[in-house]
Amino acid sequence: MNPPLAAVVLCAGKGTRMNSQMAKVLHPILGRPLAWYPVTRAFDVGCQQVVAVVGHQADQVKSTLSKAFEGQALAFSLQQQQRGTGDAVAAARGALTGYSGPILVLYGDVPLISVETLQKLVQAYRSSKGPLAMITCRPANPSGYGRVLRGHGHRVQGVIEHKDATPEQRLINEINAGIYVADSHFLWGALETLTPANAQGELYLTDIVAKAAEHGEVAVIEADPREVEGVNDRAELAERAELLRTRINKRHMQAGVTLTNPATIFIDEGVEIGPDTVIGANVTIAGECEIGSGVTIGQGSVLTHSTIGDGTDVKPYSVFEDAVVGPRCHIGPFARLRPGTVLDEGVHIGNFVETKKTRLKKGSKANHLAYLGDAEIGAGCNIGAGTITCNYDGVNKHQTVLGDGVFIGSDTQLVAPVTVGDGAFVAAGSTITEDVPAQALALSRAAQTVKEGWAERRRKVLAGMSGDGKKKE
């Protein structure tokens, strides 16, 4: 059994500077809501339970996070009024009734905190005799942050908020990151003693630092300031996203993925990519995606919630959405795989082919200019250029079913519902409205007529006309 650890993630703030209808902690960053990151890191570092303290747009925040962490030990506490960080942590007490042990405190708007840094913090707490461990750092510009006050023997004595600090204290460049591990008994007790006797009239969580210093030592670890920076407006959101993106890209490269031009590649958190996969410039891989090994993803492609099997070659500018693509397929350039596309091994989908709710079985090919919607296509079929499944009658959608080894000639319309049996052959230019039996030929175009000499006669007639279209005298 892991030693006990719980976390409180503060998500109640208003986020005024986002100028948004959406709660700040729900703004997406690399495909996940801001607060998803600290909650996930809390679980990653070994928390058995996590409490998100919600306030502003509480229902929104709660419903999004409870969906994202379904089945995990995430609980919610409501902070009625935003009376300060100390009050916010105190709001979580009810949700942790019966728990005793260390409590990690995180902010919902600080997405870059790494599990390694949190491990160090928990380690520092466990090896210290005191009731509190905290993260500090030295940013280039400490203005606005709480400053760390140190005394005899460099021991931490407390934290003074910027607004309460004297000019001398404001010269201190060591700041409080706002991330702590505190013993539950100490924490609940210390929070009861807080008063709003400060410049902001708030209940400051930071006041517990001086209390812990009275009890004994405060353990401190110093972190990279970039990890603990929060998000207050959309410019900062973009800055954090940039760093997160760089981190994610680096991790994939170290695991054996080639990123041709990493500065232009966006891969969401949680995407899995196998080794020896090569990703071209300006590619976006968003949402829940799983990419196999030895895959090539051509420049400018955008993949969302999709799976790609080993060795598949995606040519440039292809767009996938909720698609499942098997191994050794050839896709694109300019292919569009819409939701419900399932491609078995070795399928070819060429340029300007659109698929939706359609499965192509092993080795089937649709190499040029086609719309395949609501279709089941057997193995080894050849779908000619310009083929269209007419799946919509204006009210309902209907299925097109092709057996194995079917040949569909170019420029065919398959008017659904319609079935073409195994090995059947549909002649180019046909409009198929009736089922075609296995091994049959279906041909529905008008018979060709040929009029000998017609073109020559027409040219003579035209030559006899004047430039204004009237006949010459």
Of 33, 163, 10, nearest to 90 by C-alpha is 10
Residue 189 amino acid letter: G
274 binds, among Ca ion, ligand UD1, none (CB under 5 to 8 A by kind): none
Q: Which residue is catalytic, options 56, 305, 368, 398?
A: 368
From CA 162, how far away is CA 170, in angstroms rounded? 7
3-state helix, strand, coil in the chain (%, to 5): 25, 30, 45
Q: Under the rule (CB under 5 A), what is the footprint of Ca ion? A: 230
CB nearer to Ca ion: pick between 64 and 176? 176
417 binds, among ligand UD1, Ca ion, none (CB under 5 to 8 A by kind): none
Residue of the chain from 145, 186, 317, 371 that contacts ligand UD1 (CB under 6 A) = 145
From CA 318, how far away is CA 313, in angstroms rounded? 11
CB 161 to ligand UD1: min, Å? 6
By the rule CB under 6 A, 137 interacts with ligand UD1: no
Question: In sequence order, which residues have a C-beta less than 8 Å from that of residue 34 and are 6 or more positions away?
Answer: 24, 25, 26, 27, 28, 108, 109, 111, 231, 237
The two beta strands, 147-150 and 156-160, are antiparallel
From CA 280, how far away is CA 314, in angstroms rounded? 10
Among residue numbers 339 through 368, which ones bind ligand UD1 (CB under 6 A)? none
**Per-residue string for binding with ligand UD1, 2-31, x by CB under 6 A?**
--------x-xx------------------
By the rule CB under 6 A, 146 interacts with ligand UD1: yes
Among residue numbers 165 through 224, which ones bind ligand UD1 (CB under 6 A)? 175-178, 204-206
Terminus-to-terminus CA distance in the chain, angstroms? 108
83 binds, among ligand UD1, Ca ion, none (CB under 5 to 8 A by kind): ligand UD1
Residue of the chain from 65, 121, 159, 385 that contacts ligand UD1 (CB under 6 A) = 159
- Tell me, by CB under 6 A, how many residues bind ligand UD1: 27
By the rule CB under 6 A, 280 interacts with ligand UD1: no
Residue of the chain from 28, 139, 230, 437 that contacts ligand UD1 (CB under 6 A) = 230
From CA 437, how far away is CA 417, in angstroms rounded? 14
For the record, the structure tokens of 127 come out as 């090896």
Query: In the annotation, is 56 catalytic?
Result: no
How many other β-carbons are positioned within 10 Å of the β-carbon of residue 439?
Answer: 12
From CA 231, how far away is CA 110, in angstroms rounded? 6
29 binds, among Ca ion, ligand UD1, none (CB under 5 to 8 A by kind): none
For the record, the structure tokens of 420 come out as 């073409």
Residues with active-site annotation: 368
- Interface contacts to ligand UD1, rule CB under 6 A: 10, 12-13, 53, 55, 79, 82-85, 87-88, 107-109, 145-146, 159, 161, 175-178, 204-206, 230
